[in-house]
Structure 1
Amino acid sequence: MAELKIDTNDANEIIDISNRINAAIPASFSNGICHLFCTHTTAAITVTEKMDPDVKHDIIAKLDKMIPAKEPYYLHSGGNSAAHIKTILVGSSLSIPIKNGNLELGPWQGVCLCEFDGPRSRKVKVVCQKLEE
């Protein structure tokens, strides 16, 4: 198992970590499954468009509109209830096929860490499982 450390720079940010995950896949792997788990309650992990930065902006803008930072009915004293809600909606884990030693993603896809309460230092666990050929 590998662990990636990702330092975020903004309160809300989407960072492509695909290359870092590919680098964490053991050299002995040909085909299998890569399981990813984000170990935080205010950051998430997803697959999305990696080429156009406007897509990342649009995702954050829509989530902010759907889930405002402050609501009178939020009870959590940490002031980051919106970040917790966004994380639940986006998710904390992924499983992606490995083919020829790399993540088998579409040409426009990237695995992205979604920061909702930054800037912070985040961790993503990477577990690779071989499949019989």
Structure 2
Amino acid sequence: MVFEKSFTFLTSEYNQYTLITEKIESVVTESGVTNGMVTVLSRHTTTGITTNEALECLESDIDEFLCRLVPEDHPYAHARMLADYGSTAGNPTGHLKALLTGNHAHFLVRDGRIEKGGAQEVYFCEFDGPSERTFLVQVMGE
């Protein structure tokens, strides 16, 4: 069996970390799958999906870490006029941060629940907001 649901929402910050664990858990419950897999996938190249502990201090540490690795003031090749878009690309840091976080996560579903650690939460990461964003949740199993 395959069950899928999408979620669209507006982000409010340039860099933003939104907890989506409860939405994923609700899709697993709604699917009726007791054993299988759940995949969460972002539909955007300047967003990420990642898993970590949900602490504000850790969120700020993650954000500061990514900003040190991918500084805004670097002379990126992507920050130039793009004829295909008809405008200047101003989001190279978003693409690179998304590369580091990844755009998806997978979890086992066992006995109708996501198999994850007690402190493990799933984040949707915005790196080029504010914007309208969509992520997909697909549950496969029996």
Give the TM-score taking structure 1 as reference length: 0.90
Who is 1:6 aligned against? 9
1:3 Cα deviation after fit: 0.4
**Among 99, 108, 113, which residue is 1:88 paired with?**
99
Structure 1 unaligned blocks of 5 or more: none
Q: 2:132 aligns with which of 104, 121, 126?
A: 121
* 1:103, distance to aligned residue in structure 2 (A): 1.5
Aligned counterparts of 2:38 and 2:60: Cα–Cα separation in 1: 27
Q: For 1:71, which of 70, 74, 78 is the aligned residue?
A: 74
Tell me whether 1:15 sits opposite 2:37 in the alignment: no
Amino acid at match of 2:114: L
Q: After TM superposition, what 4+ stretches of structure 1 lie above 4 angstroms from structure 2?
A: none
In our comparison, the structure showing a higher alpha carbon Rg is: 2
| Cα deviation 1:65-106 (Å, max 9, x = unaligned) | 110123224333321101101101110111111123222111
The DSSP-based 3-state class of the residue aligned with 1:70 is coil
User: 1:27: Cα distance to partner?
Assistant: 4.2
Q: Distance between the aligned counterparts of 2:62 and 2:110, measured in 1? A: 29
One-letter code aligned to 2:72: A
Matched, 1:40 2:44: yes
Q: Which consecutive unaligned segments of at least 5 residues does structure 2 have?
A: 80-87
TM-score by length of structure 2 reads 0.85
Q: Can you list the C-alpha shifts for 1:33-85, whole angstroms capped at 9, x where unaligned?
A: 001110000000011112x2110110011100110123224333321101101
1:28 aligns with 2:32: yes
Asked if the contact 2:76–2:92 (Cα under 8 Å) also holds between the matched residues in 1, the reply is: no
- Measured on the aligned residues, the alpha-carbon RMSD in Å equals 1.4
Alignment partners' CA distance in 2, 1:91 and 1:6: 19
